[in-house]
Structure 1
Amino acid sequence: MGKARSPVKPTAAELNLLRVLWQLGAATVKQAHEAMQAERPDVTYANVLRQMQLMHAKGLLTRDESERSHVYAPAHSQNAHQTNLLKDLIQKAFAGSGKALVLAALRGHVTKEERSEIEKFLHGEEK
């Protein structure tokens, strides 16, 4: 009876690339590079290629080699990674208390509009 393997914890740079790929769904290195240049004009194709190759080796990305240009995609959903990172943060910074995390977030990191959305969610108005 094996436990489901958690996604590998990505570095900050890997998380930036994953955010791009979660938006694109799947992409060639060229497509990912072009998308990343919107935020970081200095990023080179070679750096994106190397990072994607390393992320594939770590299991963060899948790679379809059936076409001339390899297509990469996130190996795990955005939700799976966020859940894993959140569990880690709750354990390390909030002594395992999800309530403490939520209260800290509500104290200074939520806009009035976001607070309204949260209240609707808590009252079951939004799923």
Structure 2
Amino acid sequence: MKTNKPESAQTGGPTRAEMDILQVLWDHGPSTVRFVNDTLNAQKKSVQYTSTLKQMQLMTERGMLLRDESSMKHVYTAALEENSTKGNLLENFVDTHYKGSVSKLLQYFLGNKKASKAELDEIRKLLKEEENKL
């Protein structure tokens, strides 16, 4: 059954390549395909201009990007909000890989990755804030 949701919403979120493009737009605001492609290549992601163009056209069709065609250079803007998009991806990841348990996710990260004192202090602060909400 076909729905009116963007394909990304039907499949669990943007792909890695789509996220790379969205991140450039979130970081830099409305941009041309040339700017997005140059930025991706500066990040050591070897991407052809035509591939970036096609991907952004498809993302526009899927409702992930908005395109301003009022000038010669088309300018694209992210139609998806950064925090909610990343939040949805993270929730899906935790549900899929950690049975919805945030504590298991944190245990994995803290057990397998050396956290700095500053990171641990930030985690403590976030936990305290969450505890105060209860």
Which residue is equivalent to 1:78?
82
Which residue is equivalent to 1:123?
128
Contiguous gaps of at least 5 residues in structure 2: 130-134
Which residue is equivalent to 1:37?
41
Deviations, residues 7-41 of structure 1 (Å, cap 9, x unaligned): 63111111111111111111011111111110236
Q: Of 90, 94, 108, which aligns to 1:90?
A: 94
Equivalent positions of 1:40-119 (< 5 A) are: 40=44, 42-109=46-113, 111-112=115-116, 113-119=118-124
Give the TM-score of the pair, scaled to structure 1.
Answer: 0.82
Deviations, residues 67-109 of structure 1 (Å, cap 9, x unaligned): 2211111111211111110111121111122222222222224
Equivalent positions of 1:18-37 (< 5 A) are: 18-37=22-41
Partners in 2 of 1:89 and 1:32 — Cα distance? 27
Contiguous gaps of at least 5 residues in structure 1: none
Higher relative contact order structure (alpha carbons within 8 Å, sequence separation ≥ 6): 1
The structure 1 segments of at least 4 consecutive aligned residues displaced by more than 3 Å after TM superposition are none
Give the share of equivalent positions with the same residue, in percent.
36
Partners in 1 of 2:99 and 2:29 — Cα distance? 35
Shifted more, 77-86 versus 39-48: the winner is 39-48
